[in-house]
Amino acid sequence: MPAKNALVAVDGQSAELRLRSGTMGPDVLDIGLLYKQTRMFTYDPGFTSTASCESKITYIDGDEGVLLHRGYPIEQLAEHGDFLEVCYLLLYGELPTAAQKKDFDYRVTHHTMVHEQMSRFFTGFRRDAHPMAVMCGCVGALSAFYHDSTDITDPHQRMVASLRMIAKMPTLAAMAYKYHIGQPFVYPKNDLDYASNFLRMCFAVPCEEYVVNPVLARAMDRIFILHADHEQNASTSTVRLAGSSGANPFACIAAGIACLWGPAHGGANEAALNMLNEIGTVDHIPEYIARAKDKNDPFRLMGFGHRVYKNYDPRAKIMQKTTHEVLGELGIKDDPLLEVAMELERIALTDEYFIEKKLYPNIDFYSGITLKALGFPTTMFTVLFALARTVGWIAQWNEMIEDPEQRIGRPRQLYVGEPRREYVRAPHR
Ligand code: CMC
């Protein structure tokens, strides 16, 4: 098929731009030569119309509510797979054979301990520090401990760093939690699966036997799967941008964690639960719906809306089912928060404002209720998101390093400040 091109002509300057097609999704206009040919940049704050890279990892169709990892629908992965299988898929591109899975599980499991000196890092923080602040610091600090996996030009070191990060994030997250509540750190236990080990490191205490509830462990694992990757979102783009300068992988993931913390991104799960608590009872909902619609009120319904999904977030549907499974297992009936959540969802889905703007519940709407039922305080919610997203960040980082088109990320700007002017010494200076 002959290559399709697009002609852009402005003020007598013209450029022929290459149209590129992926396997799925809209075509893209390759503007790489635009400046060279026309001395003009494009302007796209928030990157609403800009693809920043080629990727084979995740595909989202926001209008249809579709999310695929390496071609596999998220619903099928969440139903039939486990988190480490999804990690393998994201990292290597294919589902593992039984032998590959066994080997991968073994390798991740045997990297879960962190250098003993890392524990001193935690004591440098105040006990009331937000665990995300602790995570930004401690994950960044990993690069000071694992020098033998920071050479990004060596594929072997990159893979060791990737496994270390996937393996150590639960340990660091659990340590951040234990430090927060003043309990002793619990070391990882290698005969447990990834999610069970994490629950044990969070909730076991030395004075009692801890028995993992398999229903809750499965729910935890599914939450990890649902958060594993989401194409070029803000934190992933941050990781890629940080990595484009050649920074080491631990530093790049720390940058991703910092970006994820914001309430418009990963911080939304914490914000959503705080909002449900603030609403309190079903009779207060109309007041909050009215505030969300009021242009003069900065309030937004947390857990609603998405830059890409203009349909139901497919992850939210699975999350809703998981929420009910967890509440059922724990015998939590008539939970007032769930009641508020369900009524809020019902009203929002039938309200003209939300329908017109295509604001559907996103994953964060239901994940908060589930995590609370599992026993996590709201301050840990975004930490759990970071733990699960680490594999997506690291897979995208590896893909970027291996991309022959990769260059340092350097956006341009439309300068609207003062034109050149001469410095005049003021008498008082
Ligand atoms: N409540 C009320 N109005 C909203 C909301 C909301 N949650 N979200 C968007 N709108 C309105 C917004 O005011 C705007 O109205 P108008 O066109 O009249 O100015 C319109 O919908 C489009 O919104 P936008 O801010 O231009 O959309 P965006 O793509 O820049 O923002 C978003 C996407 C997720 C930041 C936003 O929907 C939001 O702030 N939602 C609440 C926070 C949240 O739940 N974030 C989690 C996202 S999913 C997890 C993740 O990927 O991190």
**Which residue's CA is minimally distant from atom 35 of ligand 1?**
264
pLDDT at 5: 87
Give the C-alpha distances (Å, rounded to integers) separating 108 from 226, 329, 378: 19, 29, 28
User: Is the confidence at residue 140, as pLDDT, over 60?
Assistant: yes
- Mean pLDDT across the chain, nearest whole number? 93
In short, whether 357's Cβ falls inside 6 Å of ligand 1 is yes
**Which residue's CA is minimally distant from atom 22 of ligand 1?**
357
In short, whether 346's Cβ falls inside 6 Å of ligand 1 is no
Give every CB contact of residue 180 below 8 A, 6+ residues apart in sequence.
127, 128, 129, 131, 134, 377, 379, 380
Nearest atom (ligand 1) to Cα of 46: 30
pLDDT at 2: 55
For the chain, how many residues are written?
A: 429
Expressed in angstroms and rounded, the spacing between residue 297 Cα and the centre of ligand 1 is 14
Q: Are 295 and 49 in contact (CB under 8 A)?
A: no
Residue 427: pLDDT band with limits 50, 70, 90: confident
In short, whether 359's Cβ falls inside 6 Å of ligand 1 is yes
How many CB atoms are located within 10 Å of the residue 302 CB? 24
Q: Are 357 and 258 in contact (CB under 8 A)?
A: no
**Which residue's CA is minimally distant from atom 17 of ligand 1?**
357
User: Is the confidence at residue 87, as pLDDT, over 60?
Assistant: yes
pLDDT at 348: 87
Sheet architecture: strand order including 66-69:
58-61, 66-69, 72-73
CA atoms of 286 and 274, how far apart (whole Å): 17
The mean per-residue pLDDT over the stretch 20-37 comes to 93
Q: What is the dihedral of CA 222, 330, 210, 124, to 10 degrees?
A: 70
In short, whether 322's Cβ falls inside 6 Å of ligand 1 is no
pLDDT at 338: 83
3-state secondary structure of 16: strand
Expressed in angstroms and rounded, the spacing between residue 23 Cα and the centre of ligand 1 is 29
For the chain, report the end-to-end CA distance as a whole number of angstroms: 69
Of the residues 270, 309, 310, 359, which should be mutated to test ligand 1's pocket, given the most ligand atoms within 8 Å of the CB?
359
**Which residue's CA is minimally distant from atom 40 of ligand 1?**
305
**Which residue's CA is minimally distant from atom 19 of ligand 1?**
295
Half-sphere exposure of 49 (CA within 13 A, CB side): 6
pLDDT at 148: 87
CA atoms of 338 and 144, how far apart (whole Å): 43
| pTM (two decimals) | 0.92
User: Is the confidence at residue 403, as pLDDT, over 60?
Assistant: yes
User: Is the confidence at residue 397, as pLDDT, over 90?
Assistant: yes
CA atoms of 204 and 187, how far apart (whole Å): 10
3-state secondary structure of 210: coil
- Which H/E stretch holds residue 69? strand 66-69
Expressed in angstroms and rounded, the spacing between residue 233 Cα and the centre of ligand 1 is 14
Q: Are 304 and 289 in contact (CB under 8 A)?
A: no
Of the residues 300, 301, 362, which should be mutated to test ligand 1's pocket, given the most ligand atoms within 8 Å of the CB?
300
In short, whether 367's Cβ falls inside 6 Å of ligand 1 is no
**Which residue's CA is minimally distant from atom 8 of ligand 1?**
305
Give every CB contact of residue 189 below 8 A, 6+ residues apart in sequence.
197, 200
Two tokens, residue 87: 């990690």
In short, whether 268's Cβ falls inside 6 Å of ligand 1 is yes
Residue 69 annotated as catalytic: no
In short, whether 380's Cβ falls inside 6 Å of ligand 1 is no
* Amino acid sitting at position 279: I
User: Is the confidence at residue 146, as pLDDT, over 70?
Assistant: yes
Of the residues 47, 274, 306, 393, which should be mutated to test ligand 1's pocket, given the most ligand atoms within 8 Å of the CB?
306
In short, whether 290's Cβ falls inside 6 Å of ligand 1 is no
Residue 105 annotated as catalytic: no
pLDDT in tens, 209-247: 999 999 999 999 999 999 999 999 999 999 999 999 999
Catalytic hit among 82, 221, 313, 364: 364
User: Is the confidence at residue 3, as pLDDT, over 80?
Assistant: no
Expressed in angstroms and rounded, the spacing between residue 51 Cα and the centre of ligand 1 is 20
Expressed in angstroms and rounded, the spacing between residue 413 Cα and the centre of ligand 1 is 25
CA atoms of 251 and 273, how far apart (whole Å): 30
User: Is the confidence at residue 312, as pLDDT, over 90?
Assistant: no
Two tokens, residue 278: 């603030």
From the centroid of its chain, how far is CA 254? 12
User: Is the confidence at residue 1, as pLDDT, over 70?
Assistant: no
**Which residue's CA is minimally distant from atom 41 of ligand 1?**
302
The mean per-residue pLDDT over the stretch 57-81 comes to 96
Strand partners, 13: 10
pLDDT at 337: 84
Nearest atom (ligand 1) to Cα of 305: 37
In short, whether 364's Cβ falls inside 6 Å of ligand 1 is yes
Residue 375: pLDDT band with limits 50, 70, 90: very high
How many CB atoms are located within 10 Å of the residue 341 CB? 24
Expressed in angstroms and rounded, the spacing between residue 303 Cα and the centre of ligand 1 is 9
